[in-house]
Amino acid sequence: MPKAKETVLEIDLKALKHNFEYLKSKLKSNTKILAVVKAFAYGSDANVIAKYLQDLEVDYFAVAYVNEGVALRDAGITTPILVLHPQAVNFKTLIARCLEPSLYNAKVLNEFIAIASEEHQTNYPVHIKFNTGLNRLGFWENDVDYIVSKLENTSSIKVKSLFSHLAASEDLNEKEFTETQIKSFKSIAKDFSKTIGYQPMLHLTNTSGIINYPEAHLDMVRTGIGLYGFGNSEKENKHLKPVATLKSIISQIHKIEKGESVGYNRSYISSGFEKTATIPIGHADGIGRHYGHEKGFVIINGKKAPIIGNVCMDMIMVNISHIECQEGDEVIIFGKQSDASKFAQTANTISYEIITAISQRVKRIILK
């Protein structure tokens, strides 16, 4: 891979293909795959990722909001797109762009039926979400009769799928809870299908569910973080490849004496003669202030360099007293050598947060 000459986020499509194929290998041949590409495809580049996955014949995409789905349609994505949290104000746009809504309570269901009817739709595909324990979004089990009664009184929509979301599929200490969720969802789906008179597609598992609960794969699985190289466990991470590598360079090296300070508020005081490097990336790029004060680190010439003092808006300073390096040398914030989960752990957070936080002002480099 080329050495960085500025702050860049490299996106490795070969790694994406590897992860897709690894997750697909866990499934039966007739189980569909839904790729979650919300939040700029977990901080990378949604258009590039979606186009590549569409070429790999992924069955569905999911985004959080309507504007994300519109951006994919504008980029030429024709694969079905599920919008996980649509807002009523965007329902007309959703229909115009052939996006498919998740309907999760009576208010949203009734609002969408009204708009779909107004737009003269027939059998418009919708997805009904049930709450089985996450307690975030979703109808309750006892709402089945109400939902069916609404469906029987309109021809404007038709249920494409029923789904729910596992709360703790990565935590095997919560296996009993997860199995209860699976049982509950299967019961809801059976009741719903019997009452409505047809069988919608069923999907329940996220990445960890794909790995840990094959009995819950059903008709389709949803994968987000797994596509980008993280399996929510050290064991599974070994089978996956991080898609994104965040790189920068050393802008300047300073030699400081004992008692000298570094950065705002003089929050780092040298304990002796030290060398520091200034790197052009900061909290405006997604490296939060909580990574400062020697919690976070970067990799320079294969060695860890702790982030010292306060993270600035556009820069961080690191201690390089023990590293042979020079101005212009490449710096790895996270990637294959030291992945985002390790970087995130230094500030007691998770890979999701750091990879989705990388600012859009950071240049994306696509490795094909």
3-state secondary structure of 6: coil
Q: Report strand pairing: 252-256 vs 274-279.
A: antiparallel
3-state secondary structure of 101: strand
3-state secondary structure of 174: helix
Nearest 5°: CA angle at 287, between 282 and 292?
A: 85
Hey, what's the torsion of the CAs at 48, 167, 59, 154, to 10 degrees? -120
Q: Is 294 exposed, middle or buried (0-12, 13-18, 19+ CB in 10 A)?
A: middle
Residues 232, 329 contacting (CB under 8 angstroms): no
Q: Taking the CA of residue 316 as centre, how many other CA atoms within 13 Å lie in the half-sphere pointing to its CB?
A: 33
Single out the catalytic residue among 264, 275, 295, 336: 264
Q: Is 73 exposed, middle or buried (0-12, 13-18, 19+ CB in 10 A)?
A: middle
Among candidate residues 368, 308, 298, 366, the one with its CA nearest the CA of residue 334: 298
Q: Is 264 designated active site?
A: yes
Q: Is 295 designated active site?
A: no
Q: Please give the C-alpha separations between residue 71 and each of 200, 247, 265, in angstroms, as whole numbers.
A: 27, 27, 42
Here the tokens at position 125 are: 């595909």
The Cα 250–Cα 277 span in angstroms is 6
Q: Which residues are catalytic?
A: 38, 264
